[in-house]
């Protein structure tokens, strides 16, 4: 670190400490992303990350809800939780220093992206931050951050032999994928749900495409203020009652709050590799427009899926077949 000034070394140390402090669990990450967006409203990705992180928390807490507790073995539920948590943690560990370096740059009015290699950020995203500083293309930066985060988790989580065997090849993951339970929801305080789902979650390009579609929904001029109001007004607990409380029709599904259901996980650091050094960046990732093949208004869809979950539980109880 001898090529950094003393002031830069102090800044690096502060950024590292703040990242570690806020990378505690899904709740702290979600709050950190949204708080950051309120201070840096040009970084749309940070608001998107907070909303996607909320969904991660709801998915985690579903594992402690009545449906999955009945149909899944404790070990399977634990494996699924750890997969969500690991991906969540890795993305935050990678991206939050980038966000803080950008915030610091705006504060002192000069780019400080030469600090990013210390945080082992990909060469791809370093160049994209520099490009954004010069050109100010928000949409491109949002897309670049989506591409980066999905590549960051691809090898250590999606392709990891343990997660691959225990989670991504499990019957429950594949049935979720097939039924489009893997859906990201953007709620409003009026009790409406918008969003998009992905099947083929293991596909890097499909996840990037989903991120782009979600960014487009989030920034829709009519809907954006509604999503912001929800995020600003509704503390994130991990329970689906965060948004189900706004429904006109009350639901009887109960999911626990995250901090009551799951412990804080101590993460092992991993062997870092710059994904962008060994991969050709697909032009489609950066330039292909996000297209919606399905409706983005999902309120009715959500109630239908909830009914399917209850049906799945009823069938499980009737059959008495224990799945592994």
- Map 60-92 to HEC letters: HHHCCCHHHHHHCCHHHHHHHHHHHHHHHHHHH
Handedness of CA 138, 139, 141, 145 (dihedral sign): positive
Which three-class secondary structure state does DSSP give residue 132? helix
The pLDDT of residue 323 is 45
Query: With contact defined as beta carbons under 8 Å apart, do 276 and 122 qualify?
Result: yes
How far does CA 142 lie from the centroid of its chain?
Answer: 14
The SS3 call for residue 197 is: strand
Q: What is the pLDDT of residue 167?
A: 74
Query: Residue for token digits 């999905």?
Result: 150
pTM of the model: 0.92
Asked if 30 contacts 47 with a C-beta cutoff of 8 angstroms, the reply is no
Is 94:148 a contact under the CB 8 Å cutoff? yes
What pLDDT is stored for residue 31 in this prediction? 98
- Given its phi and psi angles, is residue 90 left (phi above 0), alpha (psi -120 to 50 degrees) or beta? alpha
* 320: three-class secondary structure by DSSP: coil
- Tell me what pLDDT residue 158 has: 86
Question: What is the DSSP secondary-structure string of 201-264?
Answer: TT-HHHHHHHHHHHHHHHT-TTTHHHHHHHHHHS---SSTHHHHTT-SSPP------HHHHSPP
- Tokens representing 231 are 């995020």
Distance, CA of 55 to CA of 34 (rounded, Å): 14
Looking up tokens 């009790």, which residue turns up?
A: 191
Map out the domains of the chain as residue ranges.
6-319
Quote the tokens at residue 274: 């710059």
Q: Is 169 helix (H, G, I), strand (E, B) or coil?
A: coil
Q: Which of 238, 283, 305 is nearest to 31 (CA)?
A: 238
Position 296 scores a pLDDT of: 95
Strand, coil or helix: what is 196?
A: strand
Per-residue pLDDT of the chain (324 residues; tens, 9 = 90+): 457 899 999 999 999 999 999 999 999 999 999 999 999 999 999 999 999 999 999 999 989 988 888 878 899 889 889 999 999 999 999 999 999 999 999 999 999 999 999 999 999 999 999 999 999 999 999 999 999 999 999 998 888 777 677 776 676 666 665 444 578 999 999 999 999 987 777 889 999 999 999 999 999 999 999 999 999 999 999 999 999 999 998 877 788 999 999 999 999 877 788 999 988 899 999 999 887 788 899 999 888 887 777 777 777 666 655 544
Specify whether the CB–CB gap between 244 and 230 falls below 8 A.
Answer: no
| Contact partners, residue 56, CB within 8 Å, separation at least 6 | 26, 84, 87, 88
Q: Tell me how far the alpha carbon of residue 196 is from its chain's centroid.
A: 13
- 8-state DSSP, 274: -
């Amino acid at each position: 670190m001898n090529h950094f000034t003393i002031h830069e070394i102090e800044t690096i140390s502060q950024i590292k400490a703040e990242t570690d402090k806020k990378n505690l669990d899904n709740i702290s990450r979600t709050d950190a992303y949204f708080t950051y967006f309120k201070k840096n409203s040009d970084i749309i990705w940070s608001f998107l990350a907070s909303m996607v992180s909320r969904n991660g928390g709801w998915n985690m807490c579903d594992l402690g809800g009545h449906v999955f507790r009945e149909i899944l073995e404790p070990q399977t539920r634990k494996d699924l939780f750890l997969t969500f948590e690991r991906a969540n943690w890795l993305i935050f560990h990678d991206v939050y220093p980038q966000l803080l370096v950008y915030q610091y740059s705006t504060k002192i009015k000069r780019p400080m992206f030469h600090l990013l290699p210390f945080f082992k950020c990909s060469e791809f995203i370093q160049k994209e931050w520099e490009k954004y500083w010069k050109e100010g293309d928000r949409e491109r930066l949002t897309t670049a951050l989506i591409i980066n985060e999905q590549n960051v988790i691809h090898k250590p989580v999606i392709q990891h032999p343990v997660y691959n065997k225990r989670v991504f090849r499990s019957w429950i993951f594949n049935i979720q994928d097939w039924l489009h339970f893997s859906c990201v929801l953007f709620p409003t305080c009026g009790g409406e749900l918008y969003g998009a789902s992905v099947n083929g979650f293991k596909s890097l390009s499909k996840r990037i495409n989903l991120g782009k579609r979600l960014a487009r929904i989030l920034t829709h001029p009519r809907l954006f203020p509604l999503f912001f109001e929800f995020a600003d007004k509704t503390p994130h607990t991990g329970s689906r009652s965060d948004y189900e409380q706004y429904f006109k029709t009350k639901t009887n599904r109960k999911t626990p709050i995250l901090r009551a259901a799951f412990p804080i996980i101590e993460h092992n650091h991993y062997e870092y590799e710059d994904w962008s050094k060994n991969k050709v960046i697909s032009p489609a990732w950066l330039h292909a427009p996000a297209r919606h093949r399905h409706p983005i208004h999902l309120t009715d869809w959500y109630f239908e899926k909830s009914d399917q979950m209850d049906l799945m539980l009823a069938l499980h109880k009737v059959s008495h077949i224990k799945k592994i």
